[in-house]
Amino acid sequence: MNITYPDGTQLTSTALTDQQIESAFQLATAQMLGILTYPIPSQNLNVLPPSLVSWFTAYPPVAWTTQLTITNGLEISTVNSTTNLYPGLLIAGVGIPNFTFITGISGNTVMLSNPATASGPVTASVIDLKAYEKVRIGWQIQGQPGPPIAEDTVTLRYEPVDTEYSKLRDAVGTSVGIVYTTTDVFTRTGRIYWTFYGPNGLDRARAVRSALITVQQFADLLAISNLYINPSIEEPRRVPENFQGEWWERIDLVAEFNEQVTETYTVGTVLTVPVTVYDSSGELESFTVEV
């Protein structure tokens, strides 16, 4: 965020917005749960801190491809293996029209939503457009569809926390020419709340907790955004909800994290000072001092 104050002082802050923090944890959670999240459409990257984009360079995502044999004009193809294939996946490859989805699987036969435009063996990319349906962000302005009772989903949300650390600031002043700059580096503390629904919620919450504590890869991922998880994370809480005559399995997980924030204040310095000297008889002299 950049702000210009009435006196011309400019504030530049690296503090992430709540949406950026939630997006970073949404991505990390999806990866911690093994949900394939590649590729991220380029238009979505603008919700992330720019540095996070480099994550995909540092940790290339696993290519999720499948081998299939297509026949020109037919919506039926054969695959060598149906592992990781299920209806609803977007499938893309030579001879497969754009926006083609898998509509059904029977044995080694896969039904596509569009007829192929070529024949022969094809290496196709498979994308789960519903990946983020399984890892969601709460408090959406217009609401959002709720999860079905039998589907494993997690919704996360962020809130800042007041701590002793967030009150301490390390301020360093520097002056270059007529520009004086104060750089404040401080720690901001926040909490991420995960709410897991679905029959495997407890196991998934445990997996996220373990990954946050022990897997360096995810510490590195969050560090790109200046986010650092406090490894003292309590065990998940199991709190099933009674809704409309059914018990919904619900698991709550909370983790604290610190964010390193740098705020820079740029202040214009005084160039000239007008001086006027008076005595009892009135003005004696008036001049300007240049600094």
Partner 1 sequence: MISLSEVVMDSDLAEAFTILRSRGWFELGGWKTWSENVCGYGIITVSSDQDLQMIPEGDRISGAMTFHSYERIYETQLDGGYGQQSYGDNGFDCDNKNKYGHSEQHVSDQIQWRGQLYRVISIAPWRDFGYWRAIGVRMSGR
Q: Determine if residue 215 is left, alpha or beta; phi over 0 gives left, psi from -120 to 50 gives alpha, anything else beta.
A: beta
Q: Least distance to partner 1 from the beta carbon of 113, Å?
A: 5
Cβ 114 to partner 1 shortest distance, Å: 9
Give the per-residue contact string, 140-179, with partner 1 (x = CB under 8 A; - = no): x-xxxxxxx-------------------------------
Number of residues engaging partner 1 in binding (CB under 8 A): 34
Q: Which is nearer to partner 1, 19 or 72 (CB)?
A: 19
103 contacts partner 1 (rule: CB under 8 A): yes
**Based on CB atoms, which residue is closest to partner 1, 112 or 187?**
112
Candidate ranges 96-104, 165-173, 235-243, 249-257; the one touching partner 1 (CB under 8 A): 96-104
Burial track 201-230 (b if 16+ CB lie within 10 A, e otherwise) = bbebbeebbebbeeeeebbebbebbbbebe
- Nearest partner of 37 among 12, 57, 65, 62, judged by Cα: 62
Q: What is the rounded CA–CA span in Å between residue 31 and residue 29?
A: 5
Residues 13-42 that bind partner 1 (CB under 8 A): 19, 22-23, 26-27, 37, 40-41
Considering the complex, state which of residue 34 and residue 268 has its C-beta at the smaller distance from partner 1: 34
Report helix, strand and coil shares of the chain as percent, to nearest 5. Answer: 20, 45, 35
If one asks whether residue 92 binds partner 1 (CB under 8 A), the answer comes out as no
Closest contact distance (angstroms) between CB of 24 and partner 1 is 10
Q: Which of residues 48 and 124 has its CB atom nearest to partner 1 in the complex?
A: 48
DSSP string, 78-141: EES--TT--TT-EEEETTEEEEEEEEEEETTEEEESS-BSS-EEEEEEEE-TTHHHHEEES--T
Complex with partner 1: residue 23 or 226, whichever CB lies closer: 23
Confirm or reject binding of residue 47 to partner 1 (CB under 8 A).
yes
Of the candidates 41, 114, 43, the residue with the CA atom closest to the CA atom of residue 73: 114
Q: Is the dihedral of CA 92, 96, 100, 106 positive or negative?
A: negative
Chain positions contacting partner 1, by CB under 8 A? 19, 22-23, 26-27, 37, 40-41, 44, 47-48, 87-88, 99, 101-104, 111, 113, 129-130, 132-133, 136-137, 140, 142-148
